[in-house]
């Protein structure tokens, strides 16, 4: 895997953290290139659970360099909290194995506050964000008023920039939101203190990454969120504010687009979504609740119950195609052991039309999914470690997912632990 992207092929929370942690055993660098602490990537090793928000999921492997690219919306307070939390648990996090781009845009306490206020302002049209300041940070970046990690490292540099930014934000706070203004002096001191602690990690990540790759390093790009939350190709406006898949890498990591070799999509064997927005295969009834119960489907960042429904092969064909997926990893297959019958969406019905191709750019609200039903297997598969350990009905279900997705399934996951996977032999996946 000289350079491989692992991206979410649904609406996020597909199990990327678990898979990246596993694949990181064979990687030299793991790189986050977009998103921020809105991500919650869960890794479970020998019963011990880690939830990573900003630190790449290679951090549990000694010798792996974890990089945070310039495209990440970086919240220094959250990052340092995470560093402290990992160190308390005996994980090494130092300047050698965690590199933070000097060009990453910064999320301040006030950026988070503004995220919440923007949601309040939108009322019924709210996105259901994670409240981590992502939208306002990327908006400031695009409007060229944002501050970057390098700005935190000196008072001379930070003070005028922060004063300018906060003058604008305070006009918004008092004039639009009817709130108290932010305290500029307090924000300045807090940010300088964070900058001081952040300094040992700060680097020219793009240059280091390109050098490492040129020297033969195996690089793993860790996508956050999912393809259907992509700002350009997702269910806009109910999306996050970055390019979540392979498209985000070149800009967000400073890595030439033509150097990426593989792209592995991660998908649950069913679908979940947190926050507002269209979800064609959502099950509002007892079966959706059963998926939530069996899969413990509650957000790793906000604890919100995830909306649950069936595997959507129309959306999957779209996200694999869009991201140039060379393989698919299907997670949470074990969760479906509790069902007698499984549904898979094979087409959409919209405005009197039957669609097998995802209707990008159209309003998805009125979609009626067309389902095919498959028999369940009814036995625990969490101990399965090879294709042959799976019951025939589980094998058949996976083969249907592969045929419908149009992308080879290269691995299955049957539990949250690092070793609960089934590598797919070539003959099994054809
Ligand atoms: P991410 O954001 O894509 O990294 O995914 P999250 O960590 O937010 O959510 C995935 C959840 O599913 C976590 O609680 C994982 O521990 C868990 N998980 C991952 N793979 C599997 C699996 O194969 N089976 C089960 N039952 N849980 C899994
Ligand atoms: P990981 O990396 C699932 C969702 C939010 C909301 C929308 C916009 O763990 O898969 P934002 O805070 O980004 O402005 O919220 O995107 N969202 C996620 N959903 N997994 C995530 O990350 C998410 N990050 C953001 O719920 O609907
Ligand atoms: Mg998550």
The ligand with the least distance to the CA atom of 16 is 1
pLDDT of residue 301: 78
pLDDT at 1 over 80: no
For a mutational test of ligand 2's pocket, the pick from 225, 241, 265, 305, i.e. the residue with the most ligand atoms closer than 8 A to its C-beta, is 225
CA of 52 to the centre of ligand 1 (A): 12
User: For residue 429, is pLDDT > 80?
Assistant: no
Catalytic (active-site) positions:
13, 41
pLDDT at 430: 42
Q: Is the pLDDT of residue 408 over 70?
A: yes
Pocket of ligand 2 (CB under 6 A): 8, 11-13, 38-41, 127-130, 132, 134-135, 224-226, 229, 240-241, 274-275, 300
* Residue 426 binned pLDDT confidence (cut-offs 50, 70, 90): low
Ligand number, closest to the Cα atom of 226: 2
Tens-digit pLDDT profile for residues 261-301: 999 999 999 999 999 999 999 999 999 999 999 999 998 77
Give percent of the chain with pLDDT exceeding 90.
95
User: How many residues does the structure list for the chain?
Assistant: 430
From 5, 13, 18, 304, the mutation candidate for ligand 1 (largest count of ligand atoms within 8 A of CB) is 18
CA distance to 66, 74, 107, 160, per residue, from 77 (Å): 18, 9, 9, 21
DSSP secondary structure string for all residues of 279-348 = -TTB--SHHHHHHHHHHT-B-TTT-PBPEEE-EEHHHHHHHHHHHT-SEEEEE-GGGGGG-SEEEEEEEE
- Please check whether residue 107 is in contact with residue 132, taking contact to mean a CB–CB distance below 8 angstroms: yes
Average pLDDT (408-416) is 98
How many Å lie between the centroid of ligand 3 and the Cα of residue 134? 15
Structure tokens at 19: 């898979």
For residue 200, list its beta bridge partners: none
């Amino acid at each position: 895997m000289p350079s491989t992207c692992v991206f979410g092929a649904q609406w996020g929370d597909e199990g990327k953290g678990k898979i990246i942690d596993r694949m990181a055993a064979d990687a030299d660098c793991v790189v986050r290139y977009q998103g921020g602490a809105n991500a919650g990537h869960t890794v479970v090793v020998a019963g011990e659970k880690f939830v990573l928000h900003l630190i790449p999921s290679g951090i549990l492997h000694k010798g792996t360099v974890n990089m945070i690219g310039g495209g990440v919306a970086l919240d220094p307070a959250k990052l340092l909290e995470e560093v402290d939390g990992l160190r308390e648990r005996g994980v090494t996090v130092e300047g050698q194995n965690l590199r933070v781009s000097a060009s990453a845009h910064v999320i301040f306490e006030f950026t988070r506050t503004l995220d919440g206020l923007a949601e309040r302002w939108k009322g019924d049209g709210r996105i259901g964000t994670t409240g981590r300041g992502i939208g306002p940070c990327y908006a400031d970046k695009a409007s060229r008023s944002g501050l970057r990690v390098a700005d935190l490292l000196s008072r001379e540099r930070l003070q005028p920039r922060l004063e300018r930014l906060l003058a604008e934000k305070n006009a918004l706070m008092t004039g639009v939101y009817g709130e108290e203004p932010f305290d500029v002096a307090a924000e300045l001191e807090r940010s300088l203190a964070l900058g001081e602690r952040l300094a040992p990690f700060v680097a020219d990540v793009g240059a280091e990454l390109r050098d490492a790759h040129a020297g033969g390093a195996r690089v793993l790009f860790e996508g956050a969120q999912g393809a259907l939350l992509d700002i350009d190709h997702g269910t806009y406006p109910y999306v996050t504010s970055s390019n979540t898949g392979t498209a985000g890498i070149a800009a967000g990591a400073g890595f030439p687009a033509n150097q990426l070799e593989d792209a592995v999509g991660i998908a649950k064997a069913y679908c979940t979504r947190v926050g507002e927005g269209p979800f064609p295969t959502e099950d509002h009834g007892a079966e959706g609740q059963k998926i939530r119960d069996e899969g413990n489907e509650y957000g790793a960042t906000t604890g919100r119950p995830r909306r649950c429904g069936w595997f959507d092969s129309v959306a999957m064909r779209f996200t694999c195609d869009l991201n140039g997926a060379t393989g698919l990893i299907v997670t949470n297959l074990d969760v479906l052991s509790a069902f007698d019958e499984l549904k898979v969406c094979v087409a959409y019905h919209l405005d009197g039309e039957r669609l097998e191709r995802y209707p990008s750019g159209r309003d998805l609200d009125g979609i009626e999914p067309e389902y095919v039903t498959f028999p369940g297997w009814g036995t625990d598969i969490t101990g399965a470690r090879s294709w042959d350990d799976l019951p025939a009905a589980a094998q058949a279900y996976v083969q249907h997912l592969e045929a419908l997705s149009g992308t080879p399934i290269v691995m299955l996951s049957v539990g949250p632990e690092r070793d609960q996977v089934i590598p797919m032999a070539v003959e099994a996946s054809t």
